[in-house]
Amino acid sequence: MAARDEVRLAVPATPEFLRLARVTASGIASRLGFTIDEVEDLRLAIDELCFVLVGNKDRDGSVELHYRIDRDQLDVEGVGRFDDDETDPMLTAFSRQILGALLDDYDVYRNHGGHSCFRLTKRRHTEPEP
C-alpha cells in the first residue's frame, strides 16, 4: 500500500455490519506489517469506539469509516449518521483506560454537522518482516 492511501466503508448501524469495520482495520493493519498483538489491539479499539457511537442496540442510520493509511500507522475516523443523534458520544472511565492502553491517540466528539464521531491512531511499533 502506498503512503496516505485511504479506504472508506459505510455500513448500517447494526452489530452484524459493524464487524466489517473490525475486519477492514485488521486487514489493513496486517498489510502494513503490524504484529498480531497490534492488530488485535486495533480490533478491540474499533469495537469499543463503534459501540460508543451506536450503543448496545441497532440504530436507524449508518456508520461511515475512513481508514487513512501511512507507512507505519493507521488513522481511522468514524462518523455516526443517525436519525436520532441527539446525545454527545461519551466514554466511560474504563473505556478511556482501555483505549489509552490500545492506541497511540484517540478522541470522541460531535462534529460541526452535529454527528457523533471518533478518531484513532495506531502506529506500528515494530519493523515489518521483509
- So where are the chain's domains? 5-111
Task: Give me the residues of the chain with pLDDT under 70, please.
Answer: 1-3, 127-130
**pLDDT value, residue 128:** 57
| C-alpha triplet 36, 116, 1: angle, nearest 5° | 35
**pLDDT value, residue 130:** 58
pTM of the predicted structure, to 2 decimals = 0.89
Given a contact cutoff of 8 angstroms between Cβ atoms, the answer to whether 76 and 27 are in contact is: no
**pLDDT value, residue 76:** 98
**pLDDT value, residue 16:** 86
Given a contact cutoff of 8 angstroms between Cβ atoms, the answer to whether 21 and 63 are in contact is: yes
What is 5-111's CATH topology? Heat Shock Protein 90 (3.30.565)
Cβ contacts of 80 within 8 Å, gap of 6 or more: 13, 53, 54, 59, 61, 62, 63, 89, 115, 116, 117
